[in-house]
Amino acid sequence: MKPSRLLLIWLAVLLVIGIVLGTLRALQIDIPASLISINWGLLLALLALAVLDALRLKRLPTPRITRQMPGSLALGRWGEVRLEVEHDFTAPMHIELFDHPPEGLSFEHLPLSIELQPGQRSLLGYRLRPLKRGHFSFVHCEINLPSPLGLWSGKRLLSVSDQTRVYPDFARLYGGELLAVDNWLSQLGVRQRQRRGQGLEFHQLREFREGDSLRQIDWKATARQRTPIAREYQDERDQQIIFMLDCGRRMRSQDDELSHFDHALNACLLLSYVALRQGDAVGLSTFAGDLPRHLAPVKGTQQLNVLLNAVYDLDSTQRPADYQAAVNQLLARQKRRALVVLVTNLRDEDDEELLNAVKRLSAQHRVLVASLREDMLERLRIAPVQTLPEALDYCGTVNYLNERAELHERLSAHGVPVLDVQPIELGAGLVAQYLSWKKAGSF
């Protein structure tokens, strides 16, 4: 409980009057003695009213609050929380309400002010925007009640428990279901390349059409039907994709509100959505994290929900990436040939260790290394150089990028393609590469 502005103003006025009267008496200026008595009487009356008002505030019933919030939120997207207030007041009451969102959730429109009416429930709300993924618990909600005479303000801390989960930004994934897949992918900037051949799976026999290749003709069926019959192929299905996700310290870089790790998760989920729609199986294997996780490749649209629940609380750590150990674990678990997408941030120190690990992995699987490049490096490279510190920054950046490019070239020389992109471009780049290989039947 704390004094209100009204009480402080009255105390200040009476105090100033007392100081003025005391000063006049000290200067031996005649003033009526009754003025001093009146001032002391007003001060005592104010104190008595303040005590009485404080006692009445203590006896006021505490309002009841129910929090209505979504069971899940998307990282970086605004969500709404509704608060329902019930009370037993017999007269209108103006209160201030402040919810206590946990750390990691930014908010708008707090604290809230509302006038409670007798016999009515009040509904109000505010907005939340998650800044990190994971599980969040709401514990308290705070109410400031004014005293009946307005001399005090009492804080009531209510226990209102709720929980929510913050997932990666999957809203755009589900939004894609409202469109045709091709149109949706084109809106993301993905361009499907022209197919260079047929898929590896036979689909059906049909009549020969204009534009079909002569190699598609089934001569036995043509002889039986006495009309040209062609074989129709479809993209090979039932293939497997496994994401090797680096959860180590090199993924903690942050160029905007999202870290490289969050961009990597969004890109993996985006490609998972596309691959599952294509009939392929998708799995996940993490390394350099607090607790490595492994999901075996599974087909079906429900696998996307499984992936979301498996990664929503993942976070990067300060540990270095051990590529050899990660490859050993994956080879022990994954025997069937698959497309392995290694998502990391290659540095100039990764040389022989990474090369040996990827060579072992590519002997059994098709490997794609997705290396995230910091936006800051590009800005330093193209920034004008006018001072010595700027020249040193430029030279260091160019040297770092050259060594990084040499590592990429060494991987490419050993038949391991490298996708070197900025974090925001990772999702579209992975999908474009996947569709290119899918169309060419080159998994």
DSSP codes of every residue in 205-271 = EEE--TT--GGGB-HHHHHHHTS-EEEEEE---S-EEEEEEE-SGGG--BSSSSBHHHHHHHHHHHH
Summarised one tens digit per residue, pLDDT across range 114-126 is 888 888 888 999 9
**pTM for the full model?**
0.69
Residues 355, 385 within the same domain: yes
Strands 229-234 and 201-207: antiparallel
Q: Rounded distance, CA 401 to CA 417, Å?
A: 18
Summarised one tens digit per residue, pLDDT across range 156-167 is 899 999 999 988
Residues 17, 122 within the same domain: no
Residue 414 has, within 13 A of its CA and on its CB side, a CA count of: 22
Write the CA distances from 291 to 26, 303, 319, integer angstroms: 78, 21, 12
Specify if 198 maps to a domain: no
Residues 100, 9 within the same domain: no
Residues 220, 316 within the same domain: no
Residues 389, 428 within the same domain: yes
Specify if 383 maps to a domain: yes
Summarised one tens digit per residue, pLDDT across range 321-346 is 888 888 999 999 988 889 999 998 87
Specify if 375 maps to a domain: yes
Residues 214, 284 within the same domain: no
Q: What is the pLDDT of residue 207?
A: 85
The range of the structural domain enclosing residue 125 comes to 64-167
Residue 190 has, within 13 A of its CA and on its CB side, a CA count of: 22
Q: What is the pLDDT of residue 285?
A: 92
Q: What is the pLDDT of residue 199?
A: 47
Task: Domain count for the chain, please give it.
Answer: 4
Q: What is the CATH number of the domain that holds 286?
A: 3.40.50.410
Q: What is the pLDDT of residue 418?
A: 87
Q: Is the peptide bond between 111 and the residue preceding it cis, with omega within 30 degrees of 0?
A: yes
In total, the chain counts a number of residues equal to 443
Residues 17, 124 within the same domain: no
Nearest one of 57, 19, 156 to 100, comparing CA atoms: 156
The arithmetic mean of pLDDT across residues 259-282, rounded, is: 88
The arithmetic mean of pLDDT across residues 127-149, rounded, is: 89
Specify if 39 maps to a domain: yes
Residues 101, 7 within the same domain: no
Torsion of CA 17, 19, 21, 24, to 10 degrees: -140
Q: What is the pLDDT of residue 194?
A: 43
Q: What is the mean pLDDT of the chain?
A: 82
Residues 293, 373 within the same domain: yes
Q: What is the pLDDT of residue 179?
A: 45
Residues 278, 311 within the same domain: yes
Specify if 82 maps to a domain: yes
